[in-house]
Amino acid sequence: MKNGMMIWNVLLSLVAGYLLIVSFGSNNTKSTKKNNTDATDSSGSKHFKIAYFEMDSVAANFELVKEVKTELSKRNRT
């Protein structure tokens, strides 16, 4: 039984290694070309831009958020 488990573990390790080599080792030009074109913008550069804002400052200055908060607090009290 002990030898059977050892053989089974070796077999599973070999299969997992083979699958990793096949999935990461294949040079699929179609998939890499698609990923490269998705990352570029209209000028052709590969820069990635992130928009950042602080939600609590937006909520403090936006009147609709203030109105909704007061309405919800009124509903919770009743």
Sequential DSSP letters for 3-38: HHHHHHHHHHHHHHHHHHHHHHH---HHHHHHHHHH
Residues 6 or more apart whose CB falls under 8 angstroms from that of 78 comprise none
pLDDT digits 0-9 by tens, 4-50: 899 999 999 999 999 999 988 876 555 555 555 555 555 566 788 88
Structure tokens that stand for 50 in this block: 């992130």
User: Given a cut of 90, is residue 68 above it in pLDDT?
Assistant: no
pLDDT band at 64 (very low <50, low <70, confident <90, very high): confident
